[in-house]
């Protein structure tokens, strides 16, 4: 039964995560934290961090990790297949339709309409992770002053370095991790 739940959950994620891994974050969160309490929000944030750092697509990495947590290696295989299957079917169907009808204004209109929705999904995932990082909880607290200064400083420094010098994001992530290792034990969270 757990294998069917994993398969169905990740088929839904794979089916509706238009726009890539970052757009899939809210969908994955809904399935693995809200709909099926397989992970806590803190564990979900850890999964997303690991999925982003691990080579490969974020959604597939997350599916594999969640599958292992829930049902071991067979669970990882089922969740990963569930995540990949809709994409394979959709891409083959869309490639056929696009090459046959790519000149139609209707097709161009559909693609133009999807862009803002994808941006909204990515922004939602980003804001959720920022709130979790700054406040240590899923939603904004009533007292907005009780945030982690260390998290805010590391975030601001990373954003500044990325925008000012266009440094490789992998180097910024490594630097942020090193700052966290140095600052959190000394200054606390």
Distance CA 59, CA 8 (A): 15
Distance CA 92, CA 87 (A): 8
State the pTM of this model.
0.59
Average pLDDT over residues 10-31: 86
| Cβ-based burial of 108 (10 A; exposed 0-12, middle 13-18, buried ≥19) | exposed
For residue 48, is pLDDT > 80? yes
For residue 189, is pLDDT > 60? no
Return the pLDDT at 81: 96
Q: If you average pLDDT over each of 22-31, 49-58, 69-78, which comes out highest? A: 69-78
């Amino acid at each position: 039964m757990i294998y069917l739940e994993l398969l169905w959950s990740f088929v839904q994620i794979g089916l509706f995560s238009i726009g890539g891994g970052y757009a899939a974050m809210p969908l994955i969160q809904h399935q693995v934290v809200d709909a099926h309490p397989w992970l806590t929000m803190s564990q979900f944030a850890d999964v997303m961090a690991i999925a982003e750092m691990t080579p490969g697509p974020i959604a597939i990495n997350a599916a594999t990790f969640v599958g292992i947590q829930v049902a071991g290696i067979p669970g990882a295989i089922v969740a990963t297949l569930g995540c990949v299957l809709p994409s394979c079917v959709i891409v083959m169907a869309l490639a056929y339709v696009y090459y046959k009808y790519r000149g139609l204004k209707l097709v161009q209109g559909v693609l133009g309409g999807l862009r803002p929705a994808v941006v909204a999904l990515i922004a939602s995932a980003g804001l959720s992770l920022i709130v979790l990082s700054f406040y240590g909880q899923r939603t904004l607290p009533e007292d907005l002053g009780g945030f982690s200064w260390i998290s805010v400083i590391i975030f601001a420094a990373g954003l500044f370095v990325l925008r000012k010098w266009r440094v490789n994001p992998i180097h910024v992530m490594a630097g942020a991790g090193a700052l966290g290792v140095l600052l959190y034990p000394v200054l606390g969270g």
